[in-house]
Structure 1
Amino acid sequence: MDAKPSRKVDILTSETLYKRFVHLQRLTVEHETLKGGRQTLSREIHDHGNAATILLYDPARKSVILVRQLRVPPVLNGDDGWLIETPAGLLDGDDPLSAIIREAMEETGYRIDRADYLYDAYMSPGTLTERVSFFAAEIDVTKRQGEGGGLEEEGEDIEILEVPLKDAFEMIATGKIADGKTIMLLQWAVMKYGL
């Protein structure tokens, strides 16, 4: 498949609708269409910054470290809201590697000195600006240096889980793992390490 050259997009207007933890904007953009014309669109855009996530894998035990925490939007969809995920967090002004090293320690208590960068992905590009940087690191689960569980002052209440990779991968099909970034990292891990 040949990629067509990018078509120019012009931002005509930008209006802030709300700004606290998230920045909600209404943008009006104009772009070239595939047929050669121009089209104007209005979209609401949610921006809360970019993020990073990491898969912590213990090759000796063939297990991963995951976290379970409350996510309110799934509750609105009728789920219980307690999602099982890979550790993740906003960059908060740091580069992605520094941010994920910080988040791994805060959420799981595992200190990592290095992590392998895998890729960046937009998780919901129709409305979110968030770009997530994905990492992986091998650890020894018997050598946890901190308590983990998140930062109390940020209202985090995080349960730390050690799950065999095989079981974690099977939890995707049963719906016990429904977080997109976690599914992507578990699929990557199965391709790299096998079951």
Structure 2
Amino acid sequence: MVNKDHPLSIGRTIRHAIFFNARNWQSGRPIMDELLQSVNELFAMLTERNVRYTLVGGIAMLQYIQGRNTEDIDIVISITSLRKLPEVTITQKDIFFARGMYRQLQIDFLLTKNPLFAHIQKHHVVELPFAERTIPTATVRGLILLKLYALPSLYRQGDFARVGLYENDIATLMFAYAPPIDDILHELSAFISQPDRDIAQGIVHNLEQRILRFKALRG
């Protein structure tokens, strides 16, 4: 649940994730205070330049559930808006995604050229308080839509780790918030193929059974 009395710090969350990931130690001491400054500067630039964006990914998830971990920032944004951030060095880019670096901070961009990403930004955003500032953030429904959209592709890629992470995110949101999952699947159907709809439906069914087992065993 969103904690308005003690708002989440994006900078400290990313800093802790980097620090406690031993793989980062191989390249030297993890960057600490500089990272906090980079996060503050990034969101200041987004505000000052009137960039329309939506926070998604692991940081957004942490507004709704505990125990998530992430070393980067995920943002829905248009190509036009992305051009307002020349300080961000783009390292990868395709039709719907881009990855950039602002100093030592990694940012993954979900581009609104993708109809679902544009839909999320238009219909499933709420202003939420963070330690840095109030930030437009995807709703529970928006996050579930994004993760269900991604999962069929992750299965085809054989990305077992991310499949497990995304399914657990969805299950935790379903358990905590009881969203209208049939309505969400219907909404998603406008943006994916029939085979992917079948996969998404199967995933949701399995997660519903998992939640029922948990409730039964919990008593």
| TM-score, normalization by structure 1 | 0.30
Q: What is the TM-score of this pair, normalised by structure 2? A: 0.27
The structure that has the greater radius of gyration is: 1
More strand by share: 1
Q: Which has the higher helix share?
A: 2
